[in-house]
Amino acid sequence: MTIVFLDFDGVLHPDPCRDHTRLFEHAPRLAAALAPFAQLAIVLSTAWRTEHGAQALAMQLPPALRQRVVGATRAFHEIDRRPALAAYRRQAECQDWIDREQPQRCWFALDDRPDQFEPYCDRLIATDGQRGLDDATLNRLCFLLAQSARPDRARR
């Protein structure tokens, strides 16, 4: 199984999203792109998780994404941080979830904040926060997921 850590703002819609009708506008495209990958789970890494539980947040997503949600990361102040990741909050939160819930699983993060990940982090699929999830980012995600699904290329 592969884990995708999902941010909302700047990924599923532009950040900032001043037009509430645009909230989650890219979610159906993400659901369609992930459809071929049966062994994939979503963990919510969005800042929204600090005010709402994973179940309530999952209800904002289309059913095809909602059924893949298996949890949410803990907030940075709640985790035992690895010293090397202390400057990279979102990556530390993702790694904490992996270490606690699915050790050794392949994972990627869809996020618009590359400054929250180590430089050149190969697990980060960065979006342009003003646009959100575009075709180029979806293509990169699908390529990496397909590569990770190959037994001879599985990343851990």
| Measured distance CA(54)–CA(71) in Å, rounded | 6
- The enclosing H or E element of 98 equals helix 89-101
Interval 84-121: pLDDT, tens? 788 899 999 999 999 999 998 999 999 999 999 999 99
Cut 0.95: pTM above it: no
Interval 26-63: pLDDT, tens? 999 999 999 999 999 999 999 988 888 889 999 999 99
Query: Is 58 within 8 Å of 69 (Cβ atoms)?
Result: yes
Sign of the C-alpha dihedral, residues 70, 1, 100, 87? negative
